[in-house]
Amino acid sequence: MDCVVLFESKLSVTDAAFGQVVRYLRRLFPTGSASAVLFDLSSFWLITSLKTVILRVEKANWVDGGSKALFESFVSDHTSPWVRRLTTACSALGVDVVEGGAFLGRGAHGRVFKVERKADKKVLALKLVDSRSTTALFREELALTNAELTGLTARLEHGFVDFPGGAALLVTPVGAPLPRPTTLQEVFNLFDLLRQLHEKNIIHGDPRVPNVIVVKDNDKDKLLWIDLVEAVLVTPGFRTTDAAILTRSILRLLHTSLLGEPLESLINEYGQAPTNENMLKVATVSGLLRNKLKTAEAWHIRADNKVRSIDRPVALPAVEESVLAWVLKCEELGVCITGELIRKQASATCDQMNVPVSQRPAFSKGWLYKFQVKHGLTSKLQHGEAASVSPALVAEGRQQMKAATSGYSAANTYNMDETAFFFCLSPHRSITRHRQPGTKKSKKRITVALTTNADGTDVVDPLFIGTAARPRCFNGVAASDLGFNYMYSKKGWMTGGLFNTYLLQMNQRMLAEDRKVLLLVDNAPPYRPDDESLLTNIKVKMLPKNTTAHLQPQDAGIIASFKAKVKQRQLQSALQQIDSVMAGRQDGLYE
């Protein structure tokens, strides 16, 4: 079984898109061979599978000079010879393949197909004989006659039937539907059209098959291209989702006769970059096709990516529009709002517009839910403190840091930051069938100070700060003998004394290695050196005030990675404690 399928990736070919194509080929062609073309805005990938094994993967750019030749050789290498022979034989004999069970089976010297003569629509049996023997050909004709079948026999030899180069056909097992002989040629035509569009820079995007519809203009058919990627320009509320990353196969093209026309006849006023005037604001053209090209104005796009043929009217549209504008303005200003505030603002808007109380909706939680869904509003957790700092202050601080680090290499530029670790804190949610009572939340914590250089070649051992001078879990052994650096303070926080002790230890190490290094730290009182003259090999530089949310390197993922690894250790410890409780070796968890 040989087949070529075109897939389109919305913006760029991602691992997810590539994996979907591979799974598609393996699922639909588990016993045969198939090829796929996965393309995006700038390039395309050629993929071949044989019995679920990926044999070939190649990549090329649209504007490469050899892209067309690469694609044609790719397809021709994976096309069954019987497919090509049948197509050319049908063309030479004036017949067409009957759809649905057209492959009747294998004969002694070839293959038998059900065809329809174009002149009188009569169904015939066409056998392709792969033999140079005249006797074999006569026997095939005699067999058809004895079977009382009106038959045509084409000999696969140059000169007997003229076989010009033509399209290919997907050959399926007996009884399976057989697509038209022009299927693969349509793939060629569309691919060549896409290549020309990219070369001429006419359409910035991918004219996808489900996005091609035919419109009537002065009783002539024209292709209308709908580019949903560029549609964001005219429909700001719409966003393409990952769930729609791949379009359908083009094996069922509509209006394929237009694809064979010259490029100039296909490009019309609709084929230019999308504008408010020529863009159909729809989320899927296939929906229009299924409904026989309903009037575009009857369709409405919503922020929740749903298309409605009739958008249900609301009781007070002016109030809803005003509330939506207020919400978007709050988002622009960085104001944190909740659902209760939105409901309160809706009531206040009704007061401002003098809406009678009898005509007002209840502005219940149900109203709030539908309002959020319709306009694509969701509750999101606000992370960090980045919004508290002006961009100008961050830009100025970044320039200061560049100047401070300019005299040091990446290996000699260090950064230290601390994080809290609540090592006894149990989860506050549980997966159960019934509600379970909670436990008191432990406030036991230690502070972990992490230090590393800019190129990652030197990860300094973490500094652990607790509240006890000799924790019971040390069993009377010093922390240095246990293999880690431990200090303590009354509240388990970093203090100026602890920081200076840590600095002197680090300075001794750099002195032994004969290195001059720069240490970047937060702008906080504990990080001020007591006597910089003692730091012969370390220069301490504080980050600019109020910029650590943007400029602190440790906050860019280093601390998060450290905590993720610690979390895995915690989960393993929790499993061991659960096993101990179940076995009776322990009375309670998290002890």
55-82 tens-digit pLDDT: 778 888 877 777 777 776 766 655 556 6
> Does residue 522 share a domain with residue 460?
yes
Q: Which helix (H) or strand (E) holds 453?
A: strand 446-453
The two three-digit tokens of residue 578, written as one number:
């659960």
88 and 57 part of one domain:
no
Q: How many domains does the chain have?
A: 4
Predicted confidence at residue 390, as pLDDT, reads 67
Say which residue, 99 or 62, is predicted with more confidence: 62
Rounded to an integer, the average pLDDT of 371-399 is 74
- Give the pLDDT confidence score for residue 121 in this predicted structure: 81
Distance between CA atoms of residues 154 and 149, nearest Å? 15
The residue out of 135, 167, 199 marking a domain boundary is: 167
CATH of the domain at 52: 3.30.160
Rounded average pLDDT over 214-232: 43
Alpha carbons within 13 A on the beta-carbon side of 288:
24
Domain match, 544 and 405 both: yes
The amino acid sitting at 587 is: D
Q: Please state, for a pLDDT cut of 70, what percent of the chain lies above it.
A: 59
- CA 264 centroid distance within chain: 34
Whether 533 and 413 map to the same domain: the answer is yes
Alpha carbon distance 196, 201 (integer Å): 8
Q: Note the pLDDT of residue 81.
A: 60
Q: Is residue 130 part of a domain?
A: yes
Structure-token pair, residue 533? 């003259």
> With 70 as the cut, is the pLDDT of residue 522 above it?
yes
Extract the tokens encoding 385.
Answer: 């403190």
Q: Are 286 and 248 in contact (CB under 8 A)?
A: yes
Judge whether 196 lies within some domain. Answer: no
User: What pLDDT score does 281 carry?
Assistant: 31
Q: Are residues 370 and 415 in the same domain?
A: no
More confident residue, 102 or 443: 443
Same-domain check for residues 14 and 158: no
Judge whether 572 lies within some domain.
Answer: no
Most confident of 124-133, 251-260, 563-572: 563-572
Tokens matching residue 484: 């880690």
Tell me the C-alpha distance between 355 and 458, whole Å: 67
Q: Please check whether residue 11 is in contact with residue 205, taking contact to mean a CB–CB distance below 8 angstroms.
A: no
As a whole number of angstroms, the distance between CA 248 and CA 96 comes to: 26
Residues in Cβ contact with 576 at an 8 Å cutoff, skipping those fewer than 6 apart: none
Q: Is the pLDDT of residue 360 over 80?
A: yes
Same domain, 51 and 113: no
Residue 567, token pair as written in the block: 């979390």
pLDDT of residue 486: 92
Burial code (b: 16+ CB inside 10 Å, e: under 16) for 531-549 equals eeeebebbbbeebbeebbe
Span 407-430, average pLDDT: 85
Whole-number pLDDT of residue 464: 93
Of 564 and 433, the one with more pLDDT: 564
> Average per-residue pLDDT in the chain?
69
CA distance 30 to 12: 27
Please give the average per-residue pLDDT across 538-543, as a whole number.
88
- pLDDT single digits (tens) 199-209: 655 443 444 43
Sign of the CA dihedral running 276, 282, 283, 288:
negative
The pLDDT score that the predictor gives to residue 142 is 64
Nearest-angstrom CA–CA distance, 98 and 257: 19
Q: Are 188 and 67 in contact (CB under 8 A)?
A: no
CATH of the domain at 358: 1.10.10
Q: Are residues 539 and 400 in the same domain?
A: yes
Q: Please, are residues 34 and 28 in contact by the beta-carbon 8 Å criterion?
A: yes
**What is the pLDDT averaged over residues 492-503?**
90
Residues 351, 332 share a domain: yes
Q: Are residues 365 and 453 in the same domain?
A: no
Listed as own residue / partner, the contacts of 486-491 with beta carbons closer than 8 Å and 24 or more positions apart are 487/463, 489/465, 491/467
Q: DSSP alpha helices (H): ranges in 271-426?
A: 285-290, 317-333, 339-352, 365-374, 391-405
Give me the helix-helix angle, 317-333 and 339-352, nearest 10°: 130
Rounded Cα distance, 442 and 589, in Å: 12
Per-residue pLDDT tens digits for 337-352 = 888 899 999 999 999 9
Could you report how far apart the first and last alpha carbons of the chain are, in Å?
A: 63
The verdict on residue 52 lying in a domain is yes
Domain holding 108, by residue range, is 81-167
The two tokens of residue 49 are: 């599978």
CATH code for the domain of 489: 3.30.420
Asked if the structure places residue 67 within a domain, the reply is yes
Whole-number pLDDT of residue 225: 42
393 with 459, same domain: the answer is yes
Give the residue from 118, 147, 167 where a domain finishes. Answer: 167
CB-based contact 8:206 (threshold 8 Å): yes
Q: Is residue 412 part of a domain?
A: yes
Q: Is residue 397 part of a domain?
A: yes
21 Cβ neighbours under 8 A, 6+ residues apart:
7, 36, 38, 47, 246
Q: Where are the beta strands (DSSP E) in 205-283?
A: 212-217, 220-225
**Predicted structure pTM score:** 0.43
* Model pLDDT, residue 6: 66
What gap in Å lies between CA 191 and CA 185, rounded to an integer?
10
Residue 114, strand partner residues? 125
Q: Are residues 483 and 342 in the same domain?
A: no
**Residue where a domain stops, chosen among 44, 76, 108:** 76
In this prediction, residue 374 carries a pLDDT of 83
Task: Specify if 198 maps to a domain.
Answer: no
Write out the two tokens for 523: 């702008």
272-281, 335-344, 436-445: the lowest-pLDDT one: 272-281
Q: What tens digit of pLDDT does each residue of 30-50 get?
A: 766 677 777 776 778 888 877
Instruction: Lowest mean pLDDT of 308-317, 335-344, 463-472, name the range.
Output: 308-317
Mean pLDDT of 20-34: 72
Question: What is the C-alpha to C-alpha distance for residues 108 and 136, in angstroms, rounded to an integer?
Answer: 9
